[in-house]
Amino acid sequence: MAKQKIILFFTQILLGGLFLYSGVTKLQDLSKFAEVVKGYQLLPLGIVPFTAVYVGSLETLLGFAFLFKKTVKTGAICCALLLIFFQVALVTLVFRGIEMDCGCFGGFGFSPKLAILRNFIILAQISYILYILFNDNKLIYKKSN
């Protein structure tokens, strides 16, 4: 039980930091991230700037959600849904033969195929958190007297 609690804690911290970093790097250079969003060729040009702000802000908020006991479950579910949306967008790039930076983490040069693989790994970590929280919530976050 203690081992499971330690793994859960570090996974939450890792994913919280990951989403915080990803969101903040997008917000730091919104024009660059808006160009990446535009490059996906999935949205009308008029909503690209709004989408860039929204995605960066949402990722930052969800990163914080992983760091607090009361919000981790909701944050994990929302992150999983967001990653599934990202996966669909990345798969469309692959099928259309568009080779570009995925836009993750401030543009570190992840290809769509590599980003898809990375997102599956992140989804596995989120699934682990949700499995533990939905099955052992009373044991993991047991109140001490």
Q: Domain spans of the chain?
A: 2-137
CA dist., res. 138 & res. 74, Å (int): 16
Terminal alpha carbon distance of the chain:
18
> How much is the pTM?
0.87
Extract the tokens encoding 135.
Answer: 């099955």
Specify the residue for token string 């917000």.
27
Nearest to 27 by CA among 51, 69, 56, 7: 56
Grouped pLDDT means (10 residues each) for the chain, 145 residues: 85 95 94 93 96 96 94 95 96 93 78 93 95 73 52
